[in-house]
Amino acid sequence: MEKEPGTDDWLQNTRTSYDTVAESYADRTRHLLDETPEERGALARFAGLVRARGGGPVADVGCGTGRITAHLNRLGTDAFGIDLSPGMIETARHEHPGLRFDTGSMTDLALPDASVTGLIAWYTLIHVPDHEIGPVLAHFRRVLRPGGPLLLGFHVGDGVRLKTEGYGHPMNVRVHRRSHDRMSAWLDEAGFTVRSRTTLTSAESRLGGIVLAHR
């Protein structure tokens, strides 16, 4: 796939933007799951699949300030978080002491092969350019154990926009919207099997998508 124009610095721009907004992001999203019953249901189903496989580590990739990581732990999974932004990780550790949070990138996922039972990327692929999605999903498949579940949340639609402000601060990130068909095709190419696809409107997204797949 051809490289998208204007994406040379997307990793640095994403890291810097979320370092800037980390504390306000935590304040504005801390109780968001209280307003999103369908998302809570999807997370509960994912956690149930992990428990049915005997438990084990669950990677929340692009964990932000750790709200999904913490929720998954409350659902009985051994979830830990990884995020590109050191500022987000610092805030996550403050918000959720006792849980594991590491700085890292989904483009070079520093986890051993077949080391996690489940993996979630909750509205985190939205900043990844199209040409990087394949390699990212290849990392996800590499670190998942055979049969392990993968849960993705994303904005549904087409096109990309530049986000220059968010959470009360300047930002510089590109936000991608993708169709279910496109996400499913990428997952198929990466060797995943899609189990379910959902489209919904909620406090998470004006038009959100959830895909559950397995390795």
pTM, two decimals, is 0.94
Q: For tokens 């990087």, what's the residue? A: 132
Is 161 strand, coil or helix? strand
Share of the chain above pLDDT 70, in %: 97
Q: Which domains does the chain have, with CATH numbers?
A: 10-214 (3.40.50.150)
Burial 111-133 (b: 16+ CB within 10 A, else e): beeeebbbbbbbbbbbbbbbebb
pLDDT tens figures, 136-161 = 999 999 999 999 999 999 999 999 99
pLDDT of residue 49: 98
